[in-house]
Amino acid sequence: MRPLPRARMRVLFASFAVIGGIVLGGAWLATAPGTVAQADLAGLTGDPVAGEIVFWAAGCASCHAASGAQGAARLILEGGQRFATDFGTFVAPNISMHPAHGIGRWTQVEFITALQHGTRPDGRHYYPAFPYAAYRLAEAQDLVDLWAFWQGLPSSDTPSQPHEIGLPFSIRRSVGLWNVLNLHDDFALTGDLTVQQARGRYLAEALAHCGECHTPRDALGGLDRSRWMAGAPNPSGSGVIPALTPDRLRWSEAEIAAYLNDGFTPDFDSAGGHMVAVIANMAMLTEADRLAIAAYLKALPPAGD
């Protein structure tokens, strides 16, 4: 076989370089952190009373209050709780209103950008241990209300601790690829729902992010939406997190709502582990909202085998 002429070789190399540059440039743009524009929030005024309901429904205190905090101490979002995963250990940061160690200097737009896109004020990605994949489904008004409530929260000067993760997961830009694969703008449960079921879906999927624990994940840590709420291994390595589908969770709607209020199961067992904090959040909601979550769970497709 005769070798290619040098001129043709140069053309081929140049073509490959151009194609490679286009591919890399496209990948760089596709993995760029997303943002919320001020215009997206135009005309919205925050109500701190409504924002408190969003705060409890979204489970902010469950991860960011000190471990074991109770009562008013759950409003001090000093961080420090540790969450072990297959990708390393993530440490909840201080998100109190402290201007140096918390988020007291953030703007409303930066706050909502973090919640819905997982983007930090410095323009880098947060890791998806922060459930922004769920919060992106929240209504803008609810998040504006949440920010209004946040202004009255106490501050803490406890410094945030770094995550304990190694390469390649410590490369934050790689989270952009995860976002491309795993961020959705639709709910996992689709179809015709009653008003009550739709309210429960919003609470469970957009705010309370129940699927983050109760849905199995793929090799990259994305939720397997084809097995929504079908149960999952406990990230701590101890036991499993149960399925919430009606073929597995056979409690009545009233029993589910009661459990979300007081943590007692129909057979007089009680919630344990991280669910203790979740129950404390759910108890702050109205009975109608707890019943709505129960109605949503009963509308889920079966987990099967």
The 10s digit of each residue's pLDDT in 5-40 is 555 444 444 444 433 343 344 444 456 787 888 998
The kind and range of the H/E element at 232 are strand 232-233
The pLDDT, as a whole number, for residue 23 is 34
For the domain spanning 192-234+242-305, the CATH number is 1.10.760
Residue 305's pLDDT is 62
The band of 3, judged by pLDDT with boundaries at 50, 70 and 90, is low
Cis peptide before 216 (omega within 30 of 0): no
Instruction: Please give the mean pLDDT across all residues of the chain.
Output: 88
pLDDT, greater one: 219 or 117: 117
pLDDT value of position 2: 59
Whether 187 contacts 193, CB under 8 Å: no
Q: Judge contact between 62 and 277, C-beta under 8 A.
A: yes
The more confident residue out of 166 and 224 is 224
Q: Which of 140-144, 169-173, 216-220, 257-261 has the lowest mean pLDDT?
A: 169-173
- 255 has a pLDDT exceeding 50: yes
In the chain, % helix, strand, coil (3-state, to 5) comes to 45, 5, 50
Q: Is the pLDDT of residue 60 over 90?
A: yes
**Dihedral sign, CA of 297, 300, 186, 209?**
positive
Strand blocks (E) in 29-110: 82-85, 88-91
**Cα–Cα distance measured from residue 260 to residue 262, given in angstroms and rounded to the nearest whole number:** 6
Averaged pLDDT for residues 199-209: 98
Would you kindly state where each structural domain of the chain is located, as residue ranges? Answer: 46-185, 192-234+242-305
Instruction: Identify the pLDDT of residue 20.
Output: 39
Q: What is the per-residue pLDDT for 24? A: 40
User: What is the pTM (predicted TM-score) of this model?
Assistant: 0.87
Tell me the pLDDT tens digit for each residue of 65-104. Answer: 998 888 999 999 999 999 888 888 999 999 999 999 999 9
What pLDDT shows up at residue 31?
63
What average pLDDT does this structure show over 124-136? 94
Q: Which residues is 240 bridged to in the sheet?
A: 233
